[in-house]
Copies of this chain bind each other. A is one copy, B any other.
Amino acid sequence: MSFTEQSPAHTLAYVQDEQHGISVPVTSISLEDSAPGRANPPLQVYRTAGPGSDPVRGLPPLRESWIAERADCESYQGRSRELLDDGRSAQRRGAASAEWQGPQRTPLRSQPGRTVTQMHYARNGVVTAEMRFVALRENCSVELVRSELAAGRAIIPSNINHPESEPMIIGKAFLVKINANIGNSAITSSIADEVDKLQWATLWGADTVMDLSTGDDIHTTREWIIRNAPVPIGTVPIYQALEKVNGEAHKLTWEIFRDTVIEQCEQGVDYMTIHAGVLLRYVPLTANRVTGIVSRGGAIMAGWCLAHHQENFLYTHFDELCEIFAQYDVAFSLGDGLRPGSTADANDAAQFAELDTLAELTKRAWRYDVQVMVEGPGHVPFHLVRENIERQQELCDGAPFYTLGPLVTDIAPGYDHITSAIGATEIARYGTAMLCYVTPKEHLGLPNKDDVKTGVITYKIAAHAADLAKGHPGARDRDDALSKARFEFRWRDQFSLSLDPATAEAFHDETLPAEPAKTAHFCSMCGPKFCSMRISQDIRDSYGTATEQEEIAGGMAAKSAEFLASGAKVYLPDLVVPQPS
């Protein structure tokens, strides 16, 4: 099994748009026959793992020719790299700890007077390769993609300096997406660990990854991550900017921040969280909260505002940010710095005041054709979740909502992937476009690799449950395939169709480890004699012998009518479940 596949039954395959020369990778899951002569076609599912990469060389630049063909960019001598970009310990050492040695590309930006955002193209009726890729990936029309982008109701995060990324779309008309956070901190972890977590997160289904590093080697870690990322990468640039001023929030300036943003634009960051909605006048609204401000970026900006008695520089310089983002096609992720950190603080004045400002900023960014999504909470009791998405959609004219959970109770540290998946399903059902995962370590520590996997799979569950609830076309195919496999005791197919094949198989084997049990027509819950699935199959057999589900459905209707017409009389001599020999 390669590192890019979850199971030996999974292979990389492609869906082709031959006319436009576009190939979208999918994971093909091979299935066993239901019975001799009754084959099950492979199921193709959405794939985030990419083709796989050697970490030291990175991924091939899939989008490079698409970007070049548009002929609206220029390469230029980028901002010069500074040691401080990698933090204070790199300064002491005189170098980052593991310099990127793979392909070095000269940064691109838009030619003067041109705008290179997917929103800009969409609004001008231009269909890009990225849009075609996404339409094929989502199994929808290209026009749906273009029109949703043009209206601001969806984004394709796609920095022209991250040509390795496979385009994906975030918007409520499309499949619900999930983000995984990785990144080192002052306390722990190395560059290799973070690249490993990136690949691990996308293997299990992360649609985007945010690098939230706040420790050493921030610049270099990010370089390694982006060069190996088949998914869009997001960051919170204020974290790095703060490192550059020795962690002292009041020393931050617009100039330092702007320089950090350009540094990250040139590296290829696809979207950036910008806490421009934390206005000076909103800060006192948090003072009598149970948990104050829990967003790191929000707290930094609140601290800065208070220290300087000035309005948030991200707000006052927002138009300049739009101009920069438009040059690279970086998307805004408008940060909710005042999100509630406890259920007691949910949907309060501070939170909703900031949302009003985020709505204003959304429309300002759109004037520059810059793509925007809006971040949301947080900790919200279940009955207050829906209001969050409905208010955001109304105020922000349908701009994609991107939420952290929300967690529906505060009392389960260690299980906050679960408390938050409950809220995430509810909020996604009503239109949230992307869910930021929460791991079991939330509130307690930094996620390790197991935590990343648990977080990603838990959020795949929430996103998929919302897709089903929204009636998204094709979403139920995998459920139906797995349920059919379950009913037919195709154990191996149950495993390979599941979100975590190895875990499903390991759990099965704990009780029934022998290989024959993989083909047994019973399971450990009931044992061989006492199997409800087996009895159901007998019932089905007694009502019809059609071999295909569709034929059974048709045939059974007739059979049932006949049965009822005959006075509901049946006779079966023996329903004992045969024991496997």
Bound Cα distance from A538 to B306, whole angstroms: 10
Of A295, A379, A417, A530, chain B has the most CB atoms within 10 Å of the CB of: A530
With both beta carbons as reference points, the residue of chain B lying nearest to A426 in the complex is identified as B426
Bound Cα distance from A293 to B572, whole angstroms: 17
Binds B, one of A30-38, A165-173, A507-515: A507-515
> Is the pair B419, A418 in contact by a Cβ cutoff of 8 Å?
no
Is A532 interfacial (CB-CB < 8 Å)? yes
Bound Cα distance from A385 to B138, whole angstroms: 27
A536-B414 CB under 8 A given contacts A343-B468, A469-B383, A530-B186? no
Is A290 interfacial (CB-CB < 8 Å)? yes
> Is the pair B419, A422 in contact by a Cβ cutoff of 8 Å?
no
> Is the pair B302, A448 in contact by a Cβ cutoff of 8 Å?
no
Q: A476 contacts which of B343, B460, B466, B495 (Cβ < 8 Å)?
A: B343
Is A576 interfacial (CB-CB < 8 Å)? yes
Q: A445 contacts which of B285, B410, B510, B564 (Cβ < 8 Å)?
A: B510
Is A248 interfacial (CB-CB < 8 Å)? yes
A287-B560 CB under 8 A given contacts A188-B511, A342-B483, A418-B461? yes
Bound Cα distance from A530 to B243, whole angstroms: 9
Binds B, one of A11-19, A222-230, A550-558: A550-558
* A497 cross-chain contacts in B, Cβ below 8 A: 411
Q: Using a CB-CB cutoff of 8 Å, which residues 460-503 of chain A contact chain B?
A: 460-462, 464-466, 468-471, 476, 478-480, 482-484, 486-487, 494-495, 497-500, 503
Is A309 interfacial (CB-CB < 8 Å)? yes
> Is the pair A530, B411 in contact by a Cβ cutoff of 8 Å?
no
Is A46 interfacial (CB-CB < 8 Å)? no
> Is the pair A250, B461 in contact by a Cβ cutoff of 8 Å?
no
The total of chain A residues at the interface (CB under 8 A) is 141
Is A570 interfacial (CB-CB < 8 Å)? yes
Bound Cα distance from A457 to B302, whole angstroms: 37
* A529 cross-chain contacts in B, Cβ below 8 A: 186, 247
> Is the pair A284, B499 in contact by a Cβ cutoff of 8 Å?
no
> Is the pair A290, B487 in contact by a Cβ cutoff of 8 Å?
yes
* A415 cross-chain contacts in B, Cβ below 8 A: 457-458, 461, 499-500, 503
Please tell me how many copies of the chain the complex holds. Answer: 2
> Is the pair A540, B341 in contact by a Cβ cutoff of 8 Å?
no
> Is the pair B344, A445 in contact by a Cβ cutoff of 8 Å?
no
A52-85 contact mask (Cβ, 8 Å, vs B): 1 or 0: 0000000000000000000000000000000000
Is A537 interfacial (CB-CB < 8 Å)? yes
Bound Cα distance from A476 to B468, whole angstroms: 31
Q: A532 contacts which of B293, B309, B381, B564 (Cβ < 8 Å)?
A: B293
Binds B, one of A323-331, A365-373, A436-444: A436-444
Q: A479 contacts which of B288, B344, B552, B576 (Cβ < 8 Å)?
A: B344
Bound Cα distance from A504 to B185, whole angstroms: 20
> Is the pair B309, A569 in contact by a Cβ cutoff of 8 Å?
yes
Q: A525 contacts which of B286, B303, B429, B445 (Cβ < 8 Å)?
A: B445
Bound Cα distance from A461 to B302, whole angstroms: 33
Binds B, one of A118-126, A255-263, A389-397, A541-549: A541-549
A298-323 contact mask (Cβ, 8 Å, vs B): 1 or 0: 11101110110100000000000000
With both beta carbons as reference points, the residue of chain B lying nearest to A382 in the complex is identified as B469
A237-258 contact mask (Cβ, 8 Å, vs B): 1 or 0: 0010010000111100000000
* A549 cross-chain contacts in B, Cβ below 8 A: 288, 290
Is A129 interfacial (CB-CB < 8 Å)? no
6 pairs, A vs B, C-beta closer than 8 Å:
A188-B524, A286-B536, A302-B536, A306-B571, A343-B468, A408-B468
Chain A positions near chain B (C-beta within 8 angstroms): 185-188, 214-215, 239, 242, 247-250, 280-281, 283-296, 298-300, 302-304, 306-307, 309, 341-344, 379, 381-383, 408-415, 417-419, 421-422, 425-426, 429, 440-441, 443-446, 448, 457-458, 460-462, 464-466, 468-471, 476, 478-480, 482-484, 486-487, 494-495, 497-500, 503-504, 507-508, 510-512, 523-533, 535-540, 542-544, 549, 552-553, 556-557, 559-560, 563-564, 568-577
Known contacts A250-B575, A409-B461, A418-B421; 13 further A-B pairs (Cβ under 8 A): A214-B526, A281-B564, A287-B556, A299-B531, A302-B535, A344-B479, A382-B468, A409-B464, A409-B465, A411-B479, A422-B425, A441-B511, A448-B510
